[in-house]
Amino acid sequence: MDHPPKYFYLHNSDIIAANTKLTDKSRQSIYISRAENTINAYESDWNDFYDWCAHHHVQAFPAEPETIINYINDLADNAKANTVARRISALTENFDAAGIKDNPCRLPIVKNALKGIKRMKGTMQRGKLPILFDDIREMLHCIEGDELQQARDKSILLIGFYGAMRRSEIAGLDMEDLRFTRLGLLITLRKSKTDQMDQGQMIAIPYVEDKEICAVQALKDWIARSGITTGPVFRGFTRGHGIRKNRISDKSIALLVKRYVGLVGMDPKDYGAHSLRHGFATSAAQHHVEERQIMRQTRHKSQTIVRRYIDEADKLIDNPIFKITGDKK
């Protein structure tokens, strides 16, 4: 069998296809077991390892465990511990896909080296700060542009916040995903980070009394002003300020959030599009919303992240400083 380019096997199905013990149905389930984005990320990680090996004149495939250890230690000079761990995952998966019996990444010497790097560097990562509900209120007072742009930007901020949405989910919305009801809005996410099997997820956003902060009303206003009836919900503008046919990019969502963060006096470097999602969870925790309800809105599968948001909120609310100073919170 010919080796694939740079020995990356996760895109190659020959080994699976040649396994006569598998039924056609079983093969298909293996083919779709990983999201395309994950495979592409693993390929990028593998290529980095392969190029490092070429530069140091050592064999990448199959690799010696010492080669992998030297690689991750060099990588750790400029990368976070979690990035190093992901590279090991990519190498492990690729060696497994190639059918290597004694996968070097699974050897104790490699595992211990990774543990050592994690201990030296630590695994705590500085994420983007949350945009809280009060921050959203302030940002809405700074909406820029003509009435059309204001309607779009306001809608993006409110839908992103109340829906606890990722930037790719906001950018990926189509008119066909929206269903307005007497009580509010139902959004169907056709695919998301936590829904790799394409089963779809539902987000419910109700009307709120104050129309200035009502996401459903803001979205209706944008749709009415834009005249969009099908296809992408959120789009960019032409130089003449007409509405483009193609959807807005997720990067544009992030830049939009940063712009309005800066207008209210916060540092854009500390915030991004994820700050809307993070901010909803933290704001909900500050208002003592139950963990189960937060997870239903954020669609988190793991309690770990949500509990981190709750703990983050609790530290600022139930803080001993208030008892010392006599403040009431």
Q: Which of 154, 167, 274, 299 is catalytic?
A: 274
Is residue 299 annotated as a catalytic residue, yes or no? no
- Tokens 């976070």 belong to residue: 80
- Tokens 């829904």 belong to residue: 195
Which residues have CB under 8 Å from 33's CB, separation 6+? none
Q: Residue 123 phi/psi, 5° resolution? A: -105, 0
Task: Give kind and range of the element (H or E) at residue 281.
Answer: helix 274-286
Is residue 31 annotated as a catalytic residue, yes or no? no
Is residue 128 annotated as a catalytic residue, yes or no? no
Q: What does the alpha-carbon distance between residue 295 and residue 302 come to, in Å, rounded to a whole number?
A: 8
Q: What does the alpha-carbon distance between residue 182 and residue 211 come to, in Å, rounded to a whole number?
A: 15
Is residue 166 annotated as a catalytic residue, yes or no? yes
Q: What does the alpha-carbon distance between residue 270 and residue 145 come to, in Å, rounded to a whole number?
A: 24
Is residue 274 annotated as a catalytic residue, yes or no? yes
Closest alpha carbon to 175 in 155, 148, 146, 150:
155
Q: How many CA atoms lie within 13 A of 115 on its CB side?
A: 7
Q: Residue 277 phi/psi, 5° resolution? A: -65, -45
Q: Residue 280 carries which side chain, given as an amino acid letter? A: F
Contact, 232 vs 246, CB < 8 A? yes
Closest alpha carbon to 91 in 52, 140, 131:
52
DSSP E strands in 92-148: the ranges are none
Is residue 300 annotated as a catalytic residue, yes or no? yes
Q: Which of 9, 162, 271, 309 is catalytic?
A: 309
204 three-class SS? strand
Q: Which of 166, 235, 247, 258 is catalytic?
A: 166
Q: Which of 152, 277, 278, 299 is catalytic?
A: 277
Q: Which of 34, 56, 193, 251 is catalytic?
A: 193
Give strand pairing partners of 201: 189
Q: What is the CB neighbour count within 10 angstroms for residue 55?
A: 9
Catalytic positions: 166, 193, 274, 277, 300, 309
